[in-house]
């Protein structure tokens, strides 16, 4: 039987095994897979041929990406895993820890389970006229394969996704028109900690970098954005679908000077690339749901 992508399913869970309480997600695509490396002795033995007998498995890594256009329910499940801390009273803040979870993917002919997963890098992004997307890099420890039909019976959330017109960008206390944006949370995980094991012994976080890129019109209101002072500015992204609002509040935004250029007769735009920093008690980014 041909395995068609439309029949695939995906779910997260805090622990194994997956069951009726696991969290299903609609997704656009996924590339999560085990990447195995082999090592051969390559010794000298009177021939240029390498022997099959002297080959061993060296490492196994679980790595890939999941692309989603999530609903409110799905965003609530994702944010703690991206930020590293549970949501409390509608607020999700950055943490120095990371939340480990498990991923199950029903690929029709077989069902794959990935254990010990973390999100090293998440990009929340959108372009005018399109949906808001979550692009999640995933790193994990082990893969196991089950038979078709072993994916639990789960019901996908029926809420709707967010679109770009739901977005409000505020820079330096001024609501600003924007044609595209990408908010990146890079948790900088150590993906090479194998020690004396074929699989990763652990995937610890070592640093963090938060960036915001966006393209805004070069208007008399926005002229100062191409060369902001080194002290930086405040800012936020709010996404409101008419029932739920997620406000991403930034601690401090710094952007190297980047002058506008004239590429033709079309509208002049500013391409802004902000590094986002903690400022006082405010972490780089904090999300409040209302």
- List, for residues 4-47, the tens digit of each pLDDT value: 999 999 999 999 999 999 999 999 999 999 999 999 999 999 99
User: Cα dihedral sign for 179, 87, 173, 208?
Assistant: negative
Q: Do 120 and 172 touch, CB atoms closer than 8 A? A: no
pTM above 0.85, yes or no: yes
Q: Do 226 and 218 touch, CB atoms closer than 8 A? A: yes
Q: Is 172 left (phi over 0), alpha (psi -120 to 50) or beta?
A: left
Give the per-residue pLDDT at 226: 86
Residue 224 has pLDDT above 90, yes or no: no
Taking the C-alpha atoms of residue 99 and residue 120, their distance in angstroms, rounded to an integer, is 11
Tokens standing for residue 70: 């999530």
Q: Do 74 and 241 touch, CB atoms closer than 8 A? A: no
Give the Å distances, CA to CA, from 61 to 164, 185, 191, 196, 199.
35, 22, 8, 14, 7
Give the per-residue pLDDT at 193: 95
Average the pLDDT over 80-103 and give the result.
Answer: 97
Residue 146 has pLDDT above 80, yes or no: yes
Give the per-residue pLDDT at 35: 96
The runs of H, that is alpha helices, within the chain are 72-83
Average the pLDDT over 49-75 and give the result.
Answer: 96
- List, for residues 190-210, the tens digit of each pLDDT value: 999 999 999 999 999 999 999
Taking the C-alpha atoms of residue 281 and residue 288, their distance in angstroms, rounded to an integer, is 16
């Amino acid at each position: 039987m041909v395995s068609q992508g439309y029949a695939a399913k995906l779910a997260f869970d805090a622990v194994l095994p997956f069951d009726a309480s696991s969290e299903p997600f609609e997704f656009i695509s996924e590339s999560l897979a085990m990447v195995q490396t082999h090592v051969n002795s390559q010794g000298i033995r009177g021939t240029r041929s390498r022997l099959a007998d002297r080959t061993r498995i060296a490492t196994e890594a679980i790595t890939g990406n999941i692309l989603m256009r999530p609903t409110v329910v799905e965003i609530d499940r994702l944010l703690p895993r991206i930020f590293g801390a549970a949501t409390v009273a509608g607020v999700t803040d950055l943490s120095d820890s990371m939340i480990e979870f498990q991923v199950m993917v029903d690929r029709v002919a077989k069902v794959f389970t990935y254990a010990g997963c973390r999100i090293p890098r998440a990009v929340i992004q959108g372009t005018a006229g399109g949906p808001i997307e979550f692009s999640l890099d995933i790193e994990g420890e082990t893969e196991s394969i089950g038979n078709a039909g072993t994916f639990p019976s789960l019901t996908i959330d029926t809420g709707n996704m967010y679109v770009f017109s739901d977005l409000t960008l505020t820079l330096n206390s001024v609501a600003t028109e924007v044609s595209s944006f990408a908010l990146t949370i890079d948790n900088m995980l150590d993906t090479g900690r194998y020690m004396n094991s074929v699989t990763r012994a652990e995937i610890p976080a070592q640093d963090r970098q938060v960036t915001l890129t966006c393209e805004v019109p070069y208007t008399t209101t926005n002229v100062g954005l191409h060369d902001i002072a080194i002290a930086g500015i405040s800012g936020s992204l709010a996404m409101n679908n008419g029932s739920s609002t997620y406000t991403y509040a930034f601690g401090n935004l710094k952007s190297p000077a980047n002058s506008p250029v004239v590429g033709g007769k079309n509208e002049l735009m500013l391409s802004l690339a902000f590094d986002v920093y903690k400022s006082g008690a405010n972490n780089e980014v904090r999300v409040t749901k209302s």
